[in-house]
Amino acid sequence: MSTVTTPEISLTPERSTRTSLRSRLQDALPKIVLAPSFVITLVFVYGFIIWTGYLSFTNSKTFPSYAITGARAYQRLWRWTFESDPPSSWYTSITNMGIFGFLYIGICLGLGLFLAILLDQKIRGEGLLRPIYLYPMALSFIVTGVAWKWFLDPGLGLEQTLHQWGWTSFHFDWIKNKDFVIYTVVIAGVWQASGFVMAMFLAGLRGIDGEIMKAAQIDGATTIQLYRRIIIPLLRPVFLSAFIVLAHMAIKSYDLVVALTSGGPGGSAWLPSNFMYEYTFKRNEMAVGSASAIIMLMTISAIIVPYLYSELREKSR
């Protein structure tokens, strides 16, 4: 193609001076078709975010109140951030978020890459194994939660099974332990998402130019060197997209905590999303709930906005 391609190339005639009303309507048709979706997004996403932001500066309790009363909700959250003994719900939520986010993302990436590399060794039965690693992604967090709740239950699940098999000293009651319950959320979360990360890495591995690897082999690289020095660095874009997906799933996780732990003993498994829901709908602290939602949004935006910006800018070149 020899056209000078610019992002603005359009098939729509822009000159309307000499055209009739009918053809002007024709020209506007694409925009008319897109408009409802865009307006819906503007109102129901951006408008609502502003609305929530507004509510966080009021003293709304059970019902919204629209008199601005300042940043009290944020001040309270700030104070709670440092209230570690006894921990405030907010303190628990954000520490859990840190633990969960770090482990969930880290383990999913590690395990996903590991499985992908194993599967990439010309495995017979790959077609059978891949779907096995991936199926948890089709399940809802609620079903995942129910399954693991049962599996991790000290009286019924894994612990009891091992006792029956004779390992009577085995002790595993994290799901009932307020200090460890968040780790069970990590386990269930990793189980659900790591297969998906594996699929992303596998696609990435399959996309690597085979000639690069032949060249590395001729240069005398061992298998481990090949992966460490050539292949894994080439997978950088996959790491990035997987990180983005996992990070936004981690911050949005709400259902899993509810279904797996019902919030854990004394709310000890809460994530900020649970905090928001509880404070808004159960504890009648709408302003605080809104403030926490805004903080969640800011956190995600800090990750997503630069990513989307660079992606879209690249694309329009």
Partner 1 sequence: MSAIVSSGTAARRSNGARMFNRVVIYGLLAFFAIVYLMPLFVMLVTSFKTMDEIQNGNMLSLPSAPTFEPWVKAWGETCVGLTCAGIKGYFWNSLKMVIPAVLISTILGALNGYVLTKWRFRGHTLVFGMMLFACFIPFQSVLLPMATILGSLGRFGITLQNATGFRFGFGNPTVNLVLVHVIYGLGFTTLFFRNFYEAFPTELVKAAQVDGAGFFQIFRRIMLPNSLPIIVVTVIYQFTNIWNDFLFASAYAGTGESMPMTVALNNVVNTSTGVVEYNVNMAAAMIAAMPTLLVYVLAGRYFVRGLMAGAVKG
Partner 2 sequence: MAFLEISGLRKRFGSLEILKGIDLELEKGGFLVLVGPSGCGKSTLLNTIAGLETITEGTIRVDGRAIDDLHPSKRDIAMVFQSYALYPNMTVAGNISFGMEMRGVPVEERKKAIDKVAKVLQITHLLDRKPSQLSGGQRQRVAMGRALVRDPKLFLFDEPLSNLDAKLRVDMRIEIKRLHQATGTSIVYVTHDQIEAMTLATKIAVMRDGEVQQFGTPAEIYNNPKNLFVADFMGSPAMNLLTATIEGGGNDLHVSLLRPEAEPLRVPVPQIGGLAAYSGKQVIFGIRPEALTDPDGADRNAKSLFEGDCLIDVVEPAGSDTFAVTKLGGKEVVARLRADARIAPGQTARLAFNLDKAVFFDPQSQQRIG
CB distance 286 to 63 below 8 Å: yes
Is 21 a binder of partner 1 (CB under 8 A)? no
Q: What is the DSSP string of 132-192?
A: HHHGGGGS-HHHHHHHHHHHH-TTTSHHHHHHHTT-TT----GGG-TTTHHHHHHHHHHHH
Q: Which does 6 bind (CB under 5 to 8 A by kind): partner 2, partner 1, none?
A: partner 2
Is 2 a binder of partner 2 (CB under 8 A)? yes
- Cβ atoms within 10 Å of 43's Cβ, excluding its own: 11
Pick 64 or 84: Cβ nearer partner 1? 64
Pick 71 or 304: Cβ nearer partner 1? 304
- Compute the distance between CA of residue 8 and CA of residue 65 in angstroms, rounded to an integer: 45
Asked, as a colleague might, if the bond just before 13 is cis with ω within 30 of 0, I would say no
Pick 86 or 96: Cβ nearer partner 1? 96
**Site residues for partner 2, window 12-31 (CB under 8 A)?**
13-15, 18-19, 23
Distance of closest approach, residue 179 Cβ to partner 1, in angstroms: 23
Distance of closest approach, residue 34 Cβ to partner 2, in angstroms: 20
Q: Compute CA distances 301 → 84, 100, 297, whole Å.
A: 27, 19, 6
**Site residues for partner 1, window 217-276 (CB under 8 A)?**
217-218, 220-223, 226, 231, 241-242, 244-245, 248, 251-252, 254-255, 258-259, 262, 273, 276
**Site residues for partner 2, window 36-75 (CB under 8 A)?**
none
Is 224 a binder of partner 2 (CB under 8 A)? no
User: Which residues share a beta bridge with 58?
Assistant: 68
Q: Which does 23 bind (CB under 5 to 8 A by kind): partner 2, partner 1, none?
A: partner 2
Is 85 a binder of partner 2 (CB under 8 A)? no
Query: Assign residue 185 a region: left if phi > 0, alpha if psi is -120 to 50, beta otherwise?
Result: alpha
Pick 6 or 37: Cβ nearer partner 2? 6
Distance of closest approach, residue 152 Cβ to partner 1, in angstroms: 10
Q: Which does 3 bind (CB under 5 to 8 A by kind): partner 2, partner 1, none?
A: partner 2
Number of residues that bind partner 1 (CB under 8 A): 120
- Least Cα distance to 234 among 255, 258, 216, 254 occurs for 216
The site string for partner 1 over 111-140 (x = CB under 8 A, - otherwise) reads ----x--xxxxxx-----x-xxxxxxxxxx
Is 317 a binder of partner 2 (CB under 8 A)? no
Is 96 a binder of partner 1 (CB under 8 A)? no
Pick 23 or 316: Cβ nearer partner 2? 23
219 backbone dihedrals φ, ψ, rounded to 5° = -70, -5
Going by the DSSP 8-state scheme, the letter that residue 266 receives in this structure is: G
Q: 276: which residues sit within 8 A by CB, 6+ positions away?
A: 289, 292, 293, 296
Distance of closest approach, residue 30 Cβ to partner 2, in angstroms: 14
Distance of closest approach, residue 3 Cβ to partner 2, in angstroms: 4
User: In this structure, what token pair is assigned to residue 248?
Assistant: 């936004």
Dihedral of alpha carbons 199, 254, 258, 176, sign? positive
Is 30 a binder of partner 1 (CB under 8 A)? yes
- Compute the distance between CA of residue 102 and CA of residue 246 in angstroms, rounded to an integer: 10
30 backbone dihedrals φ, ψ, rounded to 5° = -55, -40
Per CB under 8 A, residues contacting partner 2 are: 1-4, 6, 8-11, 13-15, 18-19, 23
